[in-house]
Amino acid sequence: MKPAAFFVARRVLPVAAALITAGAAHASESAQRTAQPWTPVTLQTALKELPKGNAAAGQKVHDGMMCASCHGTAGNASTLNWPSVAGQRADYTAKMLLDYRSGLRDEDPRARLMTSIARMMTPQQIADVSAYYASLPKPVAPQAQAALAAPLSAAELQRVERLVRKGDPSRLITACASCHGLHGEGKGTTPAIAGQTTDYFIRTMRLYHGGTRHNDVYKSMSQFSQRLGDADTVLIARYYASLGTSPQKMAKAD
Ligand code: HEC
Ligand code: HEC
């Protein structure tokens, strides 16, 4: 790192900037070379080999390793551009941390920042923080407020609900709900997406679309994101953000 860049990084955003720079160098050199794509069998084996997670210990990891500084105190990200992790499936969180660690998820400098963080974690810390996030209620703020501030019109809602629940056979799009659950609650390594921050949701769909995010074991997300137009992606992101807002809906989802 150049001294000038280091100076700016320290003054502006110490944790994030220093880690982004460290992560970029780290991942671009070594991670891509070593990353092995999963098969369903190797993924299940890797998840089974992780120690049992403890939510209380995971909270200490979340606070002690600065996860809270970006993903929020109770896992609700304070910026719409970064993912919330509250209420996430334990297996999905664990898979992401393993993917960042190996460099399999390596789509941009933000992902590389997670690579440096995940490489500092022990398998026990990965299991614990995954258990902690799964124990938290699904995200409700502030992304939900943004969704509420611009609710979908009746026509938009109708269009989105059809896509989400029935899919679109003419475009070979499978209903999102068939994997992510009727309320966006997820299952196993399929993530919960209800209440997810909109900017992150849209960004990650575009990254699947372009093939830059390619850590999906079944490659289904890259296919669906390519068949969905950008306008539908944006509507769906707003729809799922709004699903995180209603405590009743989320209670039913569990
Ligand atoms: C400096 C900010 C920052 C810190 C600190 C941080 N993260 Fe992240 N995290 C991000 C960003 C940004 C992303 C999205 C990266 C991308 O697009 O791949 C992310 C992504 C993730 C994801 C994937 C979420 C999803 O829905 O796919 C998980 C899980 C995660 N972080 C867990 C952690 C844990 C656990 C810690 C602490 C040990 C941590 N993060 C610390 C910024 C941070
Ligand atoms: C065949 C099952 C399946 C279907 C159908 C499906 N998904 Fe997914 N989706 C997945 C899996 C599995 C992942 C996790 C992939 C990985 O490991 O990165 C995922 C990941 C995602 C993510 C990233 C979440 C995060 O936190 O980073 C978003 C957003 C998403 N899906 C949205 C959708 C939308 C919108 C639809 C409907 C158009 C949809 N998915 C349909 C299986 C599916």
CATH for 15? 1.10.760.10
Domain boundary among 76, 100, 135: 135
In degrees, to the nearest 5, what angle opens at C-alpha 12 toward C-alphas 6 and 13? Answer: 90
Residue with the bigger pLDDT between 2 and 58: it is: 58
> Do 117 and 241 fall within a single domain?
no
Mean local confidence (pLDDT), 62-85? 91
Residue-level pLDDT at 147:
60
**Burial of 227: CB neighbours in 10 Å, binned 0-12, 13-18, 19+:** middle
In this structure, the residues whose C-beta lies within 6 A of any atom of ligand 2 are 83, 95, 173-174, 176, 178-180, 189-191, 193, 196, 201, 204-205, 215-217, 220-221, 224, 228, 236
Q: Are residues 153 and 245 in the same domain?
A: yes
Pocket test for ligand 2, best of 76, 176, 203 (most atoms within 8 A of CB): 176
Helix residue ranges, H only, 86-229: 90-102, 109-118, 123-135, 143-149, 154-166, 176-180, 198-209, 220-227
Mean pLDDT confidence for 11-18: 42
- 194-225 residue pLDDT tens: 989 888 999 999 999 999 999 999 888 999 99
Q: Which of 110, 135, 160 is the last residue of a domain?
A: 135
What is the percent of the chain where pLDDT is above 90? 66
Same domain, 196 and 117: no
Number of domains in the chain: 2
Pocket of ligand 1 (CB under 6 A): 15-16, 19, 65-67, 69-71, 82-83, 85, 93, 96-97, 105, 107, 110-111, 113-114, 117, 121, 129, 191
pTM of the predicted model as reported, rounded to 2 decimal places? 0.88
State whether 127 and 206 are in the same domain. no
Bigger pLDDT: 77 vs 1 = 77
For residue 148, the model assigns a pLDDT of 62
d(CA 134, CA 55): 8
Q: Distance between CA 96 and CA 2 in Å, rounded?
A: 31
Cis peptide before 142 (omega within 30 of 0): yes
Angle separating helix axes 109-118 and 90-102, nearest 10 degrees: 100
Judge whether 202 and 234 are in contact, CB under 8 Å.
yes
Locate the ligand 2 atom nearest the alpha carbon of residue 224 and give its number: 38
Residues 189, 118 share a domain? no
> In the predicted model, what is the mean pLDDT of the chain?
84
CB 225, CB 205: distance < 8 Å: yes
pLDDT at 28: 46
Both 248 and 197 in one domain: the answer is: yes
179 and 235 share one domain: yes
> What is the domain extent for residue 80?
3-135
Q: Among 135, 164, 197, which residue terminates a domain?
A: 135
User: Are both 36 and 105 inside the same structural domain?
Assistant: yes
Q: Which residues of 101-112 are buried (b: 16+ CB within 10 A; e: fewer)?
A: bbbbbbbeebbb
Cα 167 to ligand 2 centre (Å): 13
Are residues 177 and 110 part of one domain? no
- Same-domain status, 114 and 29: yes
Please check the confidence at residue 38 and state whether its pLDDT lies above 60: yes
pLDDT (0 to 100) of residue 218:
87
> What pLDDT score was predicted for residue 124?
98
Q: Check residue 24 and give its pLDDT.
A: 47
Residues 6+ apart with CB under 8 A from 45: none
For residues 147 and 131, state if they share a domain.
Answer: no
Do 119 and 229 have their domain in common? no
